[in-house]
Amino acid sequence: MSDQSLRPGEIPAPLGTGATIGILGGGQLGRMLACAAARLGFKTNIFEPAMRCPAGEVAAQVFSAAYTDRMALTAFAKSVDVITYEFENIPTSALDLLGRLKPIRPGRRALEVSQDRLTEKDFLNEMGCQTAPYAAVDDLVSFEAAIEKIGTPSILKTRRLGYDGKGQLRLTKAEQAQVALDYIKGVPAILEGHVNFSHEVSVIAARGLDGSVAAFDPGENVHLGGILSTTQVPARLTPSHQQDAILMAAKLLNALDYVGVLAVELFVTNSGLIVNEIAPRVHNSGHWTQNGCTVDQFEQHIRAIAGWPLGDGKRHADVIMENLIGDAVEQVDSLAREPGTAVHLYGKADVRPGRKMGHINRVRPAQA
């Protein structure tokens, strides 16, 4: 039964021991979600086109098929009690099919908003959130109008399928427009204005099936080469900014009638917080919760989509999360010897530059 078949206001029963969580995507986020699900007595089935995947190793069943394989999608949906995902770029046709068979949590609205940078920016501004100035780019004419409005330096970003800095191009002069359009092969895009920010923070928040909301303490993020490098808690935030950030996340969760964990990336500027982007899923910048909270972001997400009460995400320690990217994973032996350090690896055999191989959490007693 999909969530659509419920009467308005009706809350589905929580899933019990032995129920099966379906996850679209078999990467490291799926792997850590599956382990969190196991902790709560659930089984996990994974849908993933790639033949071998990190999450498959901790799943009860793996469906290795394309997102266009309607028979495989149907079998997957029938094998699970609820469907969630570890990445937002799931083809709409697959979602249409799956959504008729089983509840998809978080729901379609969250995916529509986060799959398209223009829809996302429009939504955020409607919600009263500040964003970078932006304009749609569909062709050279609209691009030139966008440059006129936004100025340079600015960033051209494809509306869809971007992650870890992919599908982005920095524009320093208006004359680069044609080259930039050719580079992104003319797909729909937006031009984003430069934001003068001191640092980036993110809020990982969750909303339960009953509408209750909980947020982890904001983390402070440092990116290198477009990829998250470290997240540190506590973040440098004034008490009022910290409160603003959490209230903003809660407002977005409610507006999207959201179920599960949502990540909100924010720039800290002299004129307040500016939303960079949102991700409708557990997020790399929330990995610190594994060793800083009694209930981490993965379990919080599973609790939410299973209709359980949200757990206690209070932070009991200061944590610096550091991604192990590419051959940084080769330091694991010395990292594993560090007092207060937890090592998390994703089981990926091939080390490639820019590939997320694992992460560490350096844990220190919380400063009062």
Q: Which residues bind a copy of itself (CB under 8 A)?
A: 14, 17-18, 31, 34-35, 38-44, 56-60, 291, 294-295, 303, 308-309, 311-312, 314, 316-317, 329, 333, 336-349, 357-358, 361, 363, 365
Q: Which residues contact 257 (CB under 8 A, 6 or more apart)?
A: 107, 109
Q: How many CB atoms lie within 10 A of CB 87?
A: 15
Handedness of CA 95, 98, 99, 105 (dihedral sign): negative
The neighbouring-strand residues paired with 157 are 168, 190
Whole-number minimum distance, CB 182 to a copy of itself, in Å? Answer: 40
Q: Which is nearer to a copy of itself, 145 or 343 (CB)?
A: 343
- Could you give the 3-state DSSP secondary structure of residue 199? strand
Q: Which is nearer to a copy of itself, 144 or 318 (CB)?
A: 318
Handedness of CA 87, 227, 170, 124 (dihedral sign): positive
The neighbouring-strand residues paired with 232 are 220, 320
Q: Which is nearer to a copy of itself, 205 or 357 (CB)?
A: 357
Tokens representing residue 320 in the block: 């610096």
Whole-number minimum distance, CB 39 to a copy of itself, in Å? Answer: 6
Whole-number minimum distance, CB 74 to a copy of itself, in Å? Answer: 23
With contact defined as beta carbons under 8 Å apart, do 158 and 188 qualify?
yes
Whole-number minimum distance, CB 286 to a copy of itself, in Å? Answer: 16
Structure-token match 């309607």, residue found: 70
Q: Which is nearer to a copy of itself, 37 or 278 (CB)?
A: 37
Q: Which is nearer to a copy of itself, 195 or 332 (CB)?
A: 332
Q: Which is nearer to a copy of itself, 257 or 312 (CB)?
A: 312
Q: Which is nearer to a copy of itself, 268 or 342 (CB)?
A: 342
Q: Which residues contact 350 (CB under 8 A, 6 or more apart)?
A: none
Whole-number minimum distance, CB 368 to a copy of itself, in Å? Answer: 11
Q: Which of 20, 19, 72, 78 shows the shortest CA–CA distance to 48?
A: 72
Whole-number minimum distance, CB 252 to a copy of itself, in Å? Answer: 24
With contact defined as beta carbons under 8 Å apart, do 295 and 40 qualify?
no
Whole-number minimum distance, CB 35 to a copy of itself, in Å? Answer: 5
Tell me the one-letter amino acid at 265: E
- Could you give the 3-state DSSP secondary structure of residue 293? strand
From residue 71, alpha-carbon distances to 63, 66, 254, 330 in Å are 11, 10, 34, 41
Whole-number minimum distance, CB 40 to a copy of itself, in Å? Answer: 6
Q: Which is nearer to a copy of itself, 43 or 157 (CB)?
A: 43
